[in-house]
Amino acid sequence: MKRFINQTSSSNSSSSSQRNHKSMSSLFLSNPRPFRPPLNPKSNPHLVFPLRTLNFSANSTPPPPPNPNTKPPTIKEPPFPPPQVEAATAEKKSFAVATGELFLGIASRVLRRGNSIVNGAEESGSYFWERRKEGIATVVEDPVQPEVVWEQREKDVEAEKSMKTVTSPGFSFSAAGLLFPYHLGVAKLLIEKGYIKETTPLAGSSAGAIVCAVVASGASMQEALDATKILAQDCRLSGTAFRLGAVLREILEKFLPDDAHIRCNGRVRVAVTQILWRPRGLLVDQFDSKEDLINAVFTSSFIPGYLAPRPATLFRNKLCIDGGLTLFMPPTSAAQTVRVCAFPASRLGLQGIGISPDCNPENRATPRQLFSWALEPAEDDILDKLFEQGYTDAAMWAQENPVGELVRDDSSSIGSSLAQ
């Protein structure tokens, strides 16, 4: 991985026109034709993910009488509700899902177009100088996605250096929309088994950033799940599109402790996308107050036109949008980062993923179902199921990565992402 401090690489400028960002939106919307709301997924040829139904088996003959000496089998992974349940709510969900897809597609195309334009200042070698004037101290190529370049301000670099001890690996949580419960389930297992400690660096985009703030604040994952259900119930009753942002902000203000920003400083990286003067990813992990932290995770979750009826939001006097559009799974400050994705990584072509539904692929929802639930909150029983599956997937990963062999205190990795 290349790290640039007070310098500009000409190779970055020459290849900027060829960058193809693997963002949350581009994973699902790559069709350049005009958007058409998917009224009937089975007949719409523009859907990236074909509609797939889950297979369920049942015996046609009645089961034999139970043996009192035999313990009944334990079902660890009860399947999601059959597709008929989803079909019954498809009409209700269509507006929010269609709206989210529309604005994700528009934002993705704008970002790709902005990054395909080679700026004259960058060609002349003044790119980093311009960034320095805005307080940018570091420009780094992502180790897993080399086409992604992210930046850090001087204050954020100093906040990371102020940490006396860093526990490696760090954990990065992907953008996930309203699939909060999956990340919460993963975090619950990682905390219980000692993978995540108070000195473990965290990073996230969109929903992943919110989960990181919740983990760092010391709250229980079950309490966070209960708060998620309150948000989901509000959206189911009054609508999701255009008002989710206000509901989310209210929940965060009530749920996070007053010193949440202090607990997150130097430890939690929040990814946002700045759109002027050209789209770029920015990692923020220095927060002046609880309100500043909430503004950061709100901005990281801001799908243009969906979270609120406006194309962008102001964060520290800069126009910004969802961090997942440029940094789907941002790196942490630890020497090693384990990346957590709420979507099946193999089906999306993502590389370098540690924990995802691929860890235990049986009885899973389709990517189409997951994406719908990411834009319109599912019923509480589905949220509980996502929480359980996140916990189970993390447990499967932990079996192959024993905590005693993986976790270590590594002060030498403070403020560094070079070895990720």
- Residues annotated as catalytic (active site), given as ranges: 206, 322
Longest alpha-carbon distance in the chain: 81
Query: 57 to each of 5, 54, 60, 72, 134, how far by Cα in Å?
Result: 58, 10, 10, 18, 60
Reduced to 3 states, what is the DSSP secondary structure of residue 120?
helix
Which among 348, 326, 349, 330 is positioned nearest to 339, based on CA atoms? Answer: 330
DSSP, res 325: G
- Beta carbons within 10 angstroms of residue 121's beta carbon: 13
Find the length of the chain: 420
Query: 357 to each of 83, 139, 177, 366, 380, how far by Cα in Å?
Result: 19, 32, 16, 10, 20
Q: What angle do CA 218, 268, 4 make, to 5 degrees?
A: 165
At 241, list the tokens: 């599109």
Which among 117, 123, 151 is positioned nearest to 137, based on CA atoms? Answer: 151
Q: Are 395 and 189 in contact (CB under 8 A)?
A: yes
Give per-residue burial for 74-103: e unless 16+ CB within 10 Å, then b.
eeeeeebbebeebeeebeebeebbbbbbbb
Q: Are 341 and 27 in contact (CB under 8 A)?
A: no
Q: Are 149 and 141 in contact (CB under 8 A)?
A: yes
Which among 169, 163, 165, 166 is positioned nearest to 403, based on CA atoms? Answer: 169
**Distance in Å from the first CA to the final CA of the chain:** 8
